[in-house]
Amino acid sequence: MSDEIDALTRLLSKYENVPMSLADGCVVRMVELVPDATVFTLDADFAVYRKHGRQTIPVLSPREGPS
């Protein structure tokens, strides 16, 4: 459990300028632990966040505006 707390603390520090919420940090950490995970979100910050330091996070988000 302390490994997860350490990983979460590193994420929160890395993205403190965004800023990353505790909830977002937990989601990013879970995506790191589940390799084929996709995040369903309305939060644009997930375009900035990276798993394992530099890998983009697969995101499913509703399209903006009518097509």
Residues 60 and 67: their CA atoms lie apart, in Å, by: 17
Report the distance separating Cα 25 and Cα 7, nearest Å.
9
User: Strand (E) positions, 1-67?
Assistant: 39-40, 50-51, 55-56, 59-60
On whether residue 26 sits in a domain, the answer given is: yes
Q: Is residue 66 part of a domain?
A: no
Q: Distance (Å, rounded) from C-alpha 58 to C-alpha 28?
A: 11
Q: How many folded domains does the chain comprise?
A: 1
pLDDT value at residue 62: 85
Residue 65 belongs to a domain:
no
Per-residue pLDDT of the chain (67 residues; tens, 9 = 90+): 899 999 999 999 999 999 999 999 999 999 999 989 999 999 999 999 999 999 999 999 886 555 4
